[in-house]
Amino acid sequence: MAEEKERKILVAVDEGEESFYALSWCLTNIVNQNSKDTLVLLYARPPRPVYSTLDGSGYLFSSDILATIEKYSHEVAECVIEKAQRLCKDFNDIKVESKAEHGDPRDVICQAAERLNVDLVVMGSHGYGLIKRAFLGSVSNHCAQNLKCPVLIVKKPKSNGGN
Amino acid sequence: MAEEKERKILVAVDEGEESFYALSWCLTNIVNQNSKDTLVLLYARPPRPVYSTLDGSGYLFSSDILATIEKYSHEVAECVIEKAQRLCKDFNDIKVESKAEHGDPRDVICQAAERLNVDLVVMGSHGYGLIKRAFLGSVSNHCAQNLKCPVLIVKKPKSNGGN
């Protein structure tokens, strides 16, 4: 039993609190303080909806507005990843890598896990908001069914009972 | 950060190899050798199908046959749990409890996790056989959606690449 195996753990992060809860659960319960684990923080930037170039009345958005939307989405990605990196700071020995990739979160997560040959994927059970989920289906469900590696799905507890 | 928290981890075991792979993944990757974790091995004895008192031609099974089926199912449960306990033997410091409970595995697992207030549920992604799964739906899907605690779903890798 190779106890000291260096594992690669992919944690899917998004704007929601649940994915941060999942990350800290993983840090506390899976990543050993003295391990040489590599944590890959992955933010999937959901694809722009197809109607994004049209406003409600059918007019094209100006390229200015599209650029603003794009810039905002980029800043959100950076902000989420920075927040996740700060959470990892207490764990000095682990290596932390970060990635933000465009696409349907279901594909982004599954493809990255496969490509990076990770040992475990950690994610919140909801994520990507109620509305997006209605279109995309449950991301965690899809990943649990399609990933070849183990998947840890973490739910943020309802506020009774703290941490 | 209470590193030394004694965790209670429920591992759902069944006849399939995948649940044993899940158990050993959990032992190697989550249970620390020096931790005081408690592992609860849970075997769900699937409910007898409703047609079990009738044979194919509509005759009642004799009570002898039913008793034999019952005995067989009981022995399978014991055998699965013994095999799982043996796997835990290398981990001297953890406490191991075992339970075999009757019922739909989805309910058995969710109810036990709630009742025992476990910190994590570990299970194989398939389990309970192709045919049973067609009737019962995916056990792991159901548990991932309904459990309040984190759920780790482990797939047995296809034989390329080993452990």
Q: How far apart are CA A117 and CA B25, in angstroms?
A: 16
Q: At what angle do helices A139-146 and A105-116 cross, to 10 degrees?
A: 30
The pLDDT tens digits of the residues spanning A97-119 come to 999 998 988 999 999 999 999 99
**Lowest model confidence (mean pLDDT) among A36-50, A77-91, B4-18, B120-134:** B120-134
Element (H, E) at B144: helix B139-146
- Superfamily classification of domain A8-154: HUPs (3.40.50.620)
Of A32, A138, A150, the CB nearest to B153: A150
Identity at B148, one-letter amino acid code: K
- Give A-chain residues touching B12 at CB under 8 angstroms: none
Identify which has the larger pLDDT, A34 or B138. B138
Where do the structural domains in chain A lie, given as residue ranges? 8-154
Q: How far apart are CA A117 and CA A125, in angstroms?
A: 22
Helices marked H in B5-122: 17-29, 63-88, 105-116
Which burial class, exposed, middle or buried, applies to A115 when counting CB atoms under 10 A from its CB (0-12, 13-18, 19+)?
Answer: exposed
Per-residue confidence (pLDDT) for residue A64, from 0 to 100: 81
Per-residue confidence (pLDDT) for residue B51, from 0 to 100: 47
Residue B160 token pair: 């390329």
Of A7, A151, A155, the CB nearest to B153: A151
Compute CA B142 distance to the chain's CA centroid, rounded to the nearest angstrom: 14
Identity at B74, one-letter amino acid code: H
Per-residue confidence (pLDDT) for residue A51, from 0 to 100: 47
Query: Which residues does chain B have with pLDDT short of 70?
Result: 1-4, 33-34, 48-61, 92, 127-137, 159-163
* pLDDT band for position A85 (cuts 50, 70, 90): very high
Residue that has been written with the tokens 């950076």 in this structure: A78
Find all residues with CB under 8 Å of A138, minimum gap 6, and list them. A125, A126, B145
How close does chain B come to A111, measured CA to CA in Å?
Answer: 17
Q: Is pLDDT at A84 greater than 60 in this prediction?
A: yes
Identify which has the larger pLDDT, A134 or A51. A134
Q: How far apart are CA A121 and CA A103, in angstroms?
A: 18
Chain A residue set in contact with B, beta carbons under 8 Å: 1, 3, 7, 22, 25, 28-30, 32-33, 90, 119-120, 125, 138, 140-141, 144-145, 147-155, 157-158
Per-residue confidence (pLDDT) for residue A130, from 0 to 100: 60
Find all residues with CB under 8 Å of B105, minimum gap 6, and list them. B12, B14, B44, B46, B127, B128, B136, B139
Residue that has been written with the tokens 């033997």 in this structure: B89
Per-residue confidence (pLDDT) for residue A50, from 0 to 100: 47
Residue that has been written with the tokens 């997006």 in this structure: A132
Identify which has the larger pLDDT, A144 or B47. A144
- Inter-chain CB proximity A120 and B157 less than 8 Å: no
